[in-house]
Amino acid sequence: MVEWRIPLADLELDETEVRAVAEVLRSRWLSMGPLTAEFERRFAAYLGVKHALAVSSGTAALHLAHLALGAGPGDRVLCPALTFVATANAICYSGAQPVFVDITSPDDLNLSPDDAAAKIDATTRGICVVHYGGYACDMERIGRLARAHGLYVVEDAAHAPGAACWVSDGEGTLVLKKCGSLGDVGCFSFFANKNLTTAEGGMLTTNSDAVAEKLRLLRSHGMTSLTWDRQQGHSFSYDVVALGFNYRLDELRAALGLVQLDRLEANNRRRQQVVAWYRQALAELPDIGVPFAGVTTPSAYHLMPVLLPPGVDRTRLMQHLRARGIQSSIHYPPIHRFAHYRRAAGQVHLPVTEAVAARLLTLPLYPAMRREDVQAVVAALRDGLAAA
Ligand SMILES: Cc1ncc(COP(=O)(O)O)c(C=O)c1O
């Protein structure tokens, strides 16, 4: 394993997590049970939604969301291409086809409501937005668009636990609501590089009782009772009422998730401070673009993307950073350019996504980063740019 001086991401965990997991092992009940239920209750309360359902990954959450909202063969679902491939894959798992939508601008890397509107046709069934890097999409506009065309909205909130967006309360007053509570279903990832981690894991959130019931069934083989219910003597048998999956979370991960949820707000504040230091230091490098300038709503500050000047040899620059022990990455190679999607979706042209993706670089960002770490990254970037 490479020992980075400043890694791209780093975990925040200590003996509290170790004790929580050890207690589960000692309890001898490892599969979905009371701690998972507690994690779901606490996550739902944190988000301000009626239902939260824990699942085995963010990808599983997205798959079930599209299925429960009725996507299937012949349907098209709009989504950005500047995201992790799971966003589009999950649409395909449901039998529907993704239609890639451009991003708004080099400053706003979220899906463009204008391009989404232009791509709606009679086969469009839903929209899956991604709150890129933890910065909320314009959910007021997305919501209006979806209502006007009878579309469902899935929020891929993998980057955005704790982020929020201003939306109308229906009576003309704007209210601040958390990402994941703004569409029909919210999908979170608790993968090891996320703001809240359970190693692997995810969460579905919804305010609809009917959708929650479908998600619950699909998560566990379409069965009407869980092993835990039968262990508790709540039921002795079960029926299978849908073609479901095994996308359950387990008690070890739920125990981790409960501790991590307690840390989330403080860690997001520390991330915000690190981003403020970056913005200050990067102001000295006027050739570097820093997206999401001027965003005032709470972000989850999951990623620190910058835009390199056109023509810079990005690979050389990343090697320069690597030689100084600094890890960097690219979020994301756009999905419509991957071989599989070129075959499946044919020629798609997304001018803003393509221009921006060629210049994107993600810098290290994690709660324990110190000001001197940020300064070291920015100094290495400056030297690398001079050399590239
Ligand atoms: C935007 C986005 N969507 C979906 C996923 C998939 O989540 P998971 O890795 O938990 O399946 C990820 C992350 O890994 C992601 O970054």
CA of 38 to the centre of ligand 1 (A): 23
In this structure, are residues 71 and 231 in contact, taking their beta carbons and an 8 Å threshold? no
Instruction: Calculate mean pLDDT across residues 159-176.
Output: 93
pLDDT at 228: 78
pLDDT band for position 207 (cuts 50, 70, 90): very high
SS3 of 12-49: CCCHHHHHHHHHHHHHCCCECCHHHHHHHHHHHHHHCC
Instruction: Calculate mean pLDDT across residues 153-169.
Output: 97
Distance, in Å, from the CA atom of 79 to the CA atom of 242, rounded to the nearest integer, reads 27
pLDDT at 385: 95
Q: Residue type for 220, please?
A: S
Q: Which CATH class is domain 15-260?
A: alpha beta
Pocket test for ligand 1, best of 8, 84, 137 (most atoms within 8 A of CB): 84
In ligand 1, the atom with minimum distance to the C-alpha of 83 is: 1
Q: Residue type for 344, please?
A: A
CA of 233 to the centre of ligand 1 (A): 36
pLDDT at 301: 98
Pocket test for ligand 1, best of 64, 103, 189 (most atoms within 8 A of CB): 189
In this structure, are residues 139 and 156 in contact, taking their beta carbons and an 8 Å threshold? no
Instruction: Calculate mean pLDDT across residues 20-26.
Output: 98
Select from 264, 260, 279, 102 the least CA-distant residue to 179: 264
Per-position DSSP letters for 180-229, written without gaps between them: TSSSSEEEEE-BTTSSS--BS-EEEEES-HHHHHHHHHHHBTTBSS-HHH
Backbone angles phi, psi at 99, to 5 degrees: -115, 120
Distance, in Å, from the CA atom of 57 to the CA atom of 257, rounded to the nearest integer, reads 13
Q: Is 135 a residue whose pLDDT tops 90?
A: yes
pLDDT band for position 312 (cuts 50, 70, 90): very high
In ligand 1, the atom with minimum distance to the C-alpha of 130 is: 1
Token couple for 130: 């991604």
- DSSP state letter for 134: G
CA of 272 to the centre of ligand 1 (A): 21
CA of 43 to the centre of ligand 1 (A): 18
Mean pLDDT taken over the chain? 96
pLDDT band for position 22 (cuts 50, 70, 90): very high
Least confident residue range of 173-182, 233-242, 332-341, 379-388? 233-242
In ligand 1, the atom with minimum distance to the C-alpha of 132 is: 1
Share of the chain above pLDDT 70, in %: 100
pLDDT at 2: 75
pLDDT 10s digits, 88-111: 999 999 999 999 999 999 999 999
Which residues are known to be catalytic?
A: 194
Q: Which fold has domain 264-387?
A: Aspartate Aminotransferase, domain 1 (3.90.1150)
> What count of Cα atoms within 13 Å lies in the side-chain half-sphere of residue 46?
24
pLDDT 10s digits, 337-355: 999 999 877 789 999 999 9
Q: Which residue's CA lies nearest to atom 8 of ligand 1? A: 58
pLDDT 10s digits, 241-261: 999 999 999 999 999 999 999
Domain map (residue ranges) of the chain = 15-260, 264-387
pLDDT band for position 225 (cuts 50, 70, 90): confident
Distance, in Å, from the CA atom of 240 to the CA atom of 248, rounded to the nearest integer, reads 16
Biggest CA–CA distance in the chain, Å, is: 70
Residues touching ligand 1 (Cβ under 6 Å) are: 57-59, 83-84, 86-87, 130, 156, 158-159, 189, 191, 202
Share of the chain above pLDDT 90, in %: 92
Token couple for 236: 């002795």
